[in-house]
Amino acid sequence: MERQTPVHIGRVIRNAVTFNSRNWDEFTMNPDSLLQSVANLFTLLQQRQVNYVLVGGVALLKYIEGRNTEDIDLIMALSSLEKLPEIHVTSQDVFFARGEFENLQIDILLTQNPLFAKVQRHYTTTHYFVEQVIPTATVEGLLLLKLYALPSLYRQGNFAKVGIYENDIATLLHDYRPDTEPLLQELSRHLSQSDMKEIRDILAEIRQRIERFRRGAGD
């Protein structure tokens, strides 16, 4: 059920920024400049031969409809990021960095995190976007990242983001029906027992929702 129409990343970012009312008071740039910034970013990554993977909301748009995002999420090594001085790093910790490229916001998952490195090595495919062919996380890779993040989001009390992530997970599970047990085995190498129990409980609730939907839809 992968989308057949190529996703135009620049247009996705431009529309999300333009129609977010929180940006209206401070929005001074030409939103169409985001189209060029996105094209420039992926051209730069290609020219520098950077080993990266597209994840996050833009990657999800290759698999599900209706996702909205204002930034680009990438997995890459810190050594690769250091070779990209055009990306101005605004914050960084052990596993994450946030940067700006021209007028574009980029969130970077660093491969110092073993799970992020695993997704880059083993849960990646290539997809055609309007801009170019881009290495992109698979359905299973996106599920790993979403499930991995959930316990932390719960602890932070980030209800809005929890809702978005759980909906992404539910939609991927409904549309693609992947085997989640290997994913849970992989996550158990990176999360505590208490976090794993929480994830299994969340998955059980999501599966119940999917079954209710399928019964109601006659699926």
Cite the DSSP H helix spans in 83-129. Answer: 114-122
pLDDT of residue 136: 97
DSSP 90: E
Query: Pick from 144, 196, 192, 190: which is nearest to 169 by CA?
Result: 144
> Can you tell me the mean pLDDT for 169-190?
96
* CB contact at 8 A, 102 and 29: no
pTM, full prediction: 0.91
pLDDT of residue 24: 47
pLDDT of residue 158: 87
- Residue 66 Cα to chain centre, angstroms: 14
Query: Pick from 192, 191, 209, 195: which is nearest to 151 by CA?
Result: 195
pLDDT tens digits, residue range 134-168? 999 999 999 999 999 999 999 999 899 999 999 99
Q: 8 by DSSP, 3-state: which? A: coil
Q: What is the mean pLDDT of the chain?
A: 90
- CATH level 3 topology of 9-137: Beta Polymerase; domain 2 (3.30.460)
pLDDT of residue 118: 97
Two structure tokens written together for 135: 């290495």
pLDDT tens digits, residue range 18-70? 776 555 455 555 667 888 999 999 999 999 999 999 999 999 999 988 777 88
How is the chain split into domains, by residue range?
9-137, 141-217
pLDDT tens digits, residue range 87-119? 999 999 999 999 999 989 999 999 999 999 999
Q: Per-residue confidence at 205, pLDDT binned at 50, 70, 90?
A: very high
Residue 61: partners with Cβ closer than 8 Å, 6 or more residues away: 3, 7, 12, 67
pLDDT of residue 46: 95
Percentage helix, strand, coil, to 5, in the chain? Answer: 55, 15, 30
